[in-house]
Structure 1
């Protein structure tokens, strides 16, 4: 087996483990968050999908600074986007660059350890559901989001379920989860690693292995040839900003039981998703019997990019379109 293939497989194992990363603890409310720093207009270029957005910093759980992007009329229905592991707010470029902001308020933030947010070195900043849930709660509180629709992708779906478990009294309109096992412990185990396989590149001290792993993961997660190459390059750059201590902390998250969510849950599943296959979808149906599952047969792991127009229309249907334009 070639070195590159072993790196790719190791990266796949790592991502699969993160998709099934567990959550949950006893529900509790955190202390009020500090007010966000004044958000100046983003110094974006005219071609950036975030050119009309407001950037600000919010103190997350434990005071970790979170980079937040906010676009649209604050009086419109709010949508809070949570990206996947080793990615950033750039994941939602085809949402912020669309006309959704005419009908709803779009908010996204870089997860702790990702993008332009703070990246604590301590394992306890990542290895339980609490800090991730606290971050979501602090963003909602700091921006005054009223019953937002929470959209979670991949590991972001786990984070969304962290929040649902620990903050059941915070009103939200519902959850739209895609490319995720939804924090369940029932996601299928990854295949056995090959003999003499290198360590997971994302935790390797060898930067060359990390770079090779990022290249392989980008090909795996975003195979659609129609996606803009410059955007894919940004995704790769975002992945390289995540330090090995982040995954080391996440890997220690304890497994959990069946999630309990009172609000409506919708799963947008990609028919060609290499990480969330039919077995995981079947388990989601069992774990979330009241959830609505919508298939995007031509999409892979990133449904919101592969079929952005239809995905955006789904957001309209679930939340934004209710208030009109």
Structure 2
């Protein structure tokens, strides 16, 4: 397949409650459409390499910052709940010329499960879950939240932030440069650099009510009727053999592939293997419109 370069075009989507979500589109005339939903505490930048690779393969790729993340608007009242994120995802999918294939990591995957399971017709042509299942390993999630909560006063420099990320992601060989960190940090009035996410995300209902969401996730997953690919990291501490087996029993038509050497941060750890798995999954799907 011929590989072409497609630069990202900045755009924005309006939510039902008046927020603006920052987004990028790569290969505007490509097909199929892939809609990428990032994990809690991430930005659309987490998909930069993957979306560039898949756009070069001919796909139309849309990445966006969820509400309260990155360059998207924050909730004025600091109140965040799962249904708001589900509604945002549904609106984004509905704005596309055809039902997109959702690629959802962690939180983004859970939102995709709920949306695909509860809506008829499903708003997605297919679903790719990136290292997430309806039941997760608590220790892995607690590690992520501990990192997000560890530096409320921010950092004095980009070098200090890079050092903390390197300690959190020891499997990565290269430290992030200042250029790579700029989209992830905001400079406050005090000159300190703080993470891009709204601190209210950590104290709101999205986190505190997460365990209560599991019955809804299981019920929705059992109703998913579109093709599903679950990609897990070999070294993930969020998804385990047990949670994968439980999910495959719940969604028997789902496929599963494990990416060797990858952790929960699968796309960043092994982009080539990650995109190759998605490309193979796309090629296996029936042409759009064929049931």
Same fold (TM over 0.5): yes
User: Structure 1 residues 108, 321: closer, same or farther in 2, change over 3 A?
Assistant: farther
Q: Residue in 2 aligned with 1:240?
A: 195
Counterpart residue number, 1:256:
214
For the 8 Å contact 2:131–2:238, the answer to whether it is kept is yes
User: How far apart are 1:295 and its partner, in Å?
Assistant: 0.9
Cα separation, 2, equivalents of 1:154 and 1:214 = 23
Q: How does 1:142-157 map to 2 (within 5 A)?
A: 142=95, 144-157=96-109
User: The residue matched to 1:319 in structure 2 has which SS?
Assistant: helix
- SS class of match (1:66): strand
**Structure 1 pair 222/163, CA: closer, same or farther in 2 (3 Å)?**
farther
> What is aligned with 2:231?
268
Aligned residue in 2 for 1:296? 259
Correspondence for 2:275: 312
- Counterpart CA distance in 2 for 1:136 and 1:227 is 32
2:130 to 157, 178, 183: 178
Report deviation, 1:153: 0.8
Alignment of 1:10-29 (within 5 A): none
Q: Say which of 99, 113, 126 aligns to 1:161.
A: 113
CA RMSD of aligned residues (A): 3.3
Q: Which runs of 5+ in 2 are unaligned?
A: 187-193
Which among 89, 97, 113 is matched to residue 136 of structure 1?
A: 89
Q: CA deviation at 1:93?
A: 1.5
**Residue 76 of structure 1: how far off its partner (Å):** 1.6
1:11 corresponds to: none
1:116 aligns with 71
The alignment partner of 1:263 has SS state of coil
Alignment of 1:167-206 (within 5 A): 167-181=119-133, 184=134, 186-190=135-139, 202=148, 206=152
Deviation at 1:171, TM superposition (A): 3.9
Matched positions, count = 262
Counterpart residue number, 1:277: 240
Q: Give the CA deviation at 1:244.
A: 1.6
Quick check: 2:166–2:175 contact (8 Å CA) kept in 1?
no
Contact preservation (8 Å) 1:146, 1:171: no
The partner residue of 1:94 within 49, 61, 80 is 49
The TM-score with structure 1 as length reference comes to 0.69
1:87 deviates by 0.9
TM-score scaled by structure 2? 0.76
Gaps of 5+ in 1: 1-49, 194-198
- Tell me, in whole angstroms, the C-alpha distance in 2 between the residues paired with 1:232 and 1:54: 18
SS of residue matched to 2:67: coil
Alpha carbons 2:166, 2:172 under 8 Å: kept: no
Partners of 2:179 and 2:235 lie apart in 1 by: 21
Say whether the 8 Å CA contact 1:61–1:131 is kept in structure 2.
no
Using CA pairs under 8 Å that are at least 6 residues apart, name the structure with larger relative contact order, 1 or 2: 1
